[in-house]
Amino acid sequence: MADERTMFDNLAEEINSMDDISEEVKQKLLANIMKAKDQPVNLLITGPTGCGKSSTINAMFNMEVAKVGVGVDPETTDIQDYQLGNLKIYDSPGLGDGKERDIAHAKKITELLHRRDSDGNALIDLVLVIVDGSTRDLGTTYELIENVIIPSLGEERHKRLLIAVNQADVAMKGKHWDSVNCRPDSVLTDFLNDKVRSIRERILANTGVHVDPIFYSAGYKEEGQAQTPPYNLSKLMLYILRAIPPKKRLVVIEQSNQNQDMWRKSDELEDYQREIKKSLSESVCEGVAKGSDIGGNIGGTIGGIFGSVGEKVGRVVGSVVGGVVGFVGGLLGGIFG
Ligand SMILES: Nc1nc2c(ncn2[C@@H]2O[C@H](COP(=O)(O)OP(=O)(O)OP(=O)(O)O)[C@@H](O)[C@H]2O)c(=O)[nH]1
Ligand SMILES: [Mg+2]
C-alpha cells in the first residue's frame, strides 16, 4: 500500500480534532486507541480438505495469502500461519486425510489450543471450523469438533468455537442457487437452515456445547475468470467479531478485505451490526464511562457524559471503520448518524 496510514492513525487523528471534549477525555480515548491497536488476535481456521479454508481467508482478509486448491490433493498438509499486522491466522487441515495424517493433525490442533500467552490466557481467541456444505458426509468434521477441538477448549469451550457451513451455492448441487442475485432461493435456504439446525442439535447432544452455525459461500475464482462473489461473508465476519473479546475487534477489522464486492451479498445483519458497533465505540470509550475516573472531573452525570462522548466517538469510529469495511461502517454511520 502506498498510503502508510493505518485505520488506527485515522482514528487517532479524528479523535484529536474533536474540539468539544476535554483534554483529559481525549488523552484517555487516544490511549484506548493505542491499546486497541496493540491487541494480538489469533484465529484458528480448520476443516476438511477442500472445504474452503484458503478461499475464506483470501476473501475475508487484506491480501491473497492462502493458496486455493485446484486438484484433489489437500493443499494444506500442515498448519500454516499468516501474520497480518497483529492478526495471526492459523490455517490447519482437519481430519479425513488418512489415519496417520489425522493423528498428526489432531495432535497439532490440540497443542495449539492448549497454548497460553504470556498472561496465561488461551492463545487462540477463536476456532472457526468450516464445514463443506456440498457434502452429506460430515463424519470427519464431527469427529474433529467433538473429539479434538471441544475437549481442548477447556472452560472457554462455550465461547471459542464457531462453525460455518461454506459452499452454500453448491449445497444442492448448485440447484436452487439464484446466480443472478447471488443468493439461495427459498428451497435452498430451507435446506441450509435444516443443515445448521442439525449440526447444532447434534453437537449439543454429544458434547453439551451450544454452537450457532451459519451458512455462507466464500465464492470462487477460476483461472482467467472473474471472481464469483461471496455470499454472507459479512455475516461470517460479524460472527467472528462478536465471538472475540470486544477490545480485539478493531485489529480484525483493520485487516479485512477492502474490496467491497466481498461484503455486499448478505442476509439481514442489523442485530449483529448494532452489537458490533456498540462494542467498537465502547472499546474506544473504555474507562471514560467509569464516572470516578474522568466523569467526576467534568462534573456532569456519568450517564450524560458517557452518552454524549460515547455518541460522538461512535460517530467517529463509524466513519473511520466505514472507510475500511463498508458494510460495518455504512451501518455504523446509519445507526449513529
Ligand atoms: N462453488 C464454490 N466453490 C468453493 C467455495 N469455496 C471454495 N470453493 C472451491 O473449493 C476448492 C477448495 O477450496 P480451498 O479454499 O482450497 O479449500 P481448503 O479448505 O483451503 O483446501 P485444503 O487447503 O486443500 O485443505 C477450490 O476449487 C475453491 O475454488 C464456495 O463457496 N463455492
Ligand atoms: Mg487451503
Mutation probe of ligand 1 site: the residue of 54, 81, 175, 222 with most atoms within 8 A of C-beta:
54
Residues 165 and 116 in one domain: yes
pLDDT of residue 294: 38
Task: Output the CA 167–ligand 1 centroid distance in Å.
Answer: 8
Here the cell at position 330 is 455504512
pLDDT of residue 328: 65
Residue 330 pLDDT level (bands cut at 50, 70, 90): low
Residue type, 235: K
C-beta of residue 133 within 8 angstroms of C-beta of residue 215: yes
Q: Is the pLDDT of residue 336 over 80?
A: no
pLDDT tens digits, 247-263: 899 999 999 998 888 88
Residues 288 and 187 in one domain: no
Looking at ligand 1, which atom is closest to the CA of residue 174? 1
CB atoms near residue 195 (< 10 Å): 19
CA distance 121 to 78: 25
Task: List the residue whose alpha carbon is closest to atom 2 of ligand 1.
Answer: 167
Contact residues for 5 (Cβ-Cβ < 8 A; gap 6+): none
Looking at ligand 1, which atom is closest to the CA of residue 69? 16
Higher pLDDT, 287 or 169: 169
pLDDT tens digits, 260-285: 888 888 887 777 777 777 888 888 88
Task: Output the CA 166–ligand 1 centroid distance in Å.
Answer: 9
pLDDT tens digits, 195-228: 999 999 999 999 999 999 999 999 987 777 777 8
Residue 335 pLDDT level (bands cut at 50, 70, 90): very low
Looking at ligand 1, which atom is closest to the CA of residue 231? 31
**Tell me, what CATH number does 70's domain have?**
3.40.50.300
Task: List the residue whose alpha carbon is closest to atom 7 of ligand 1.
Answer: 52
CA distance 262 to 256: 10
- Average pLDDT, stretch 74-97? 87
pLDDT of residue 236: 94
Residues 139 and 232 in one domain: yes
pLDDT of residue 326: 65
Looking at ligand 1, which atom is closest to the CA of residue 68? 16
Residues 32 and 52 in one domain: no
Give the chain as a 3 state SS string: CCCCCCHHHHHHHHHHCCCCCCHHHHHHHHHHHHHHHCCCEEEEEEECCCCCHHHHHHHHECCCCCCCCCCCCCCCCCCEEEEECCEEEEEEECCCCCHHHHHHHHHHHHHHHHCECCCCCECCCEEEEEEECCCCCCHHHHHHHHHHHHHHCHHHHHCCEEEEEECHHHCCCCCCEECCCCEECHHHHHHHHHHHHHHHHHHHHHHCCCCCCEECECCECCCCCCCECCECHHHHHHHHHHHCCHHHHHHHHHCECCCHHHCCCCCCCHHHHHHHHHHHHHHHHCCCCCCCCCHHHHCCCHHHHHHHHHHHHHHHHHHHHHHHCHHHHHHHHHHHC
Residues 47 and 125 in one domain: yes
Total domain count for the chain? Answer: 2
Here the cell at position 139 is 463424519
pLDDT of residue 333: 41
Residue 22 pLDDT level (bands cut at 50, 70, 90): confident
Q: Is the pLDDT of residue 300 over 50?
A: no
Residues 152 and 202 in one domain: yes
Nearest to 36 by CA among 334, 262, 332, 247: 247
pLDDT tens digits, 128-171: 999 999 998 999 999 999 999 999 998 888 889 999 999 999 99
Task: List the residue whose alpha carbon is closest to atom 14 of ligand 1.
Answer: 52
Here the cell at position 21 is 471534549
The range of the structural domain enclosing residue 96 comes to 41-246
Residues 213 and 281 in one domain: no
Task: Output the CA 162–ligand 2 centroid distance in Å.
Answer: 18
pLDDT of residue 65: 66
Most confident of 96-100, 154-158, 307-311: 96-100
Residues within a 6 A CB radius of ligand 1: 47, 49-55, 68-70, 74-76, 93, 166-167, 169-170, 217-220
Looking at ligand 1, which atom is closest to the CA of residue 66? 20
pLDDT of residue 154: 87
Residue 318 pLDDT level (bands cut at 50, 70, 90): confident
Looking at ligand 1, which atom is closest to the CA of residue 55? 15
pLDDT of residue 310: 75
Residues 69 and 138 in one domain: yes
Q: Is the pLDDT of residue 289 over 60?
A: no
Give 191-209 as a 3 state SS string: HHHHHHHHHHHHHHHHHCC
Task: Output the CA 215–ligand 1 centroid distance in Å.
Answer: 15
Higher pLDDT, 327 or 28: 28
Domain stops at, among 246, 267, 296: 246
Report the chain's mean pLDDT, rounded to a whole number.
85
Higher pLDDT, 314 or 116: 116
Task: Output the CA 89–ligand 1 centroid distance in Å.
Answer: 17
Domain stops at, among 246, 266, 288: 246
pLDDT of residue 191: 97
Mutation probe of ligand 1 site: the residue of 49, 68, 77, 216 with most atoms within 8 A of C-beta:
68
Task: List the residue whose alpha carbon is closest to atom 3 of ligand 1.
Answer: 220
Q: Is the pLDDT of residue 291 over 60?
A: no
Weakest mean pLDDT among 67-71, 203-207, 300-304: 300-304
Instruction: Please indicate, yes or no, if residue 269 is contained in any of the structural domains.
Output: no
Task: List the residue whose alpha carbon is closest to atom 32 of ligand 1.
Answer: 167
Q: Is the pLDDT of residue 246 over 50?
A: yes
Contact residues for 19 (Cβ-Cβ < 8 A; gap 6+): none
Instruction: Please indicate, yes or no, if residue 224 is contained in any of the structural domains.
Output: yes
pLDDT above 70 coverage of the chain, percent: 86
Task: List the residue whose alpha carbon is closest to atom 6 of ligand 1.
Answer: 52
Residues 21 and 63 in one domain: no
pLDDT of residue 337: 31
Residues 17 and 143 in one domain: no
Task: Output the CA 320–ligand 2 centroid distance in Å.
Answer: 32
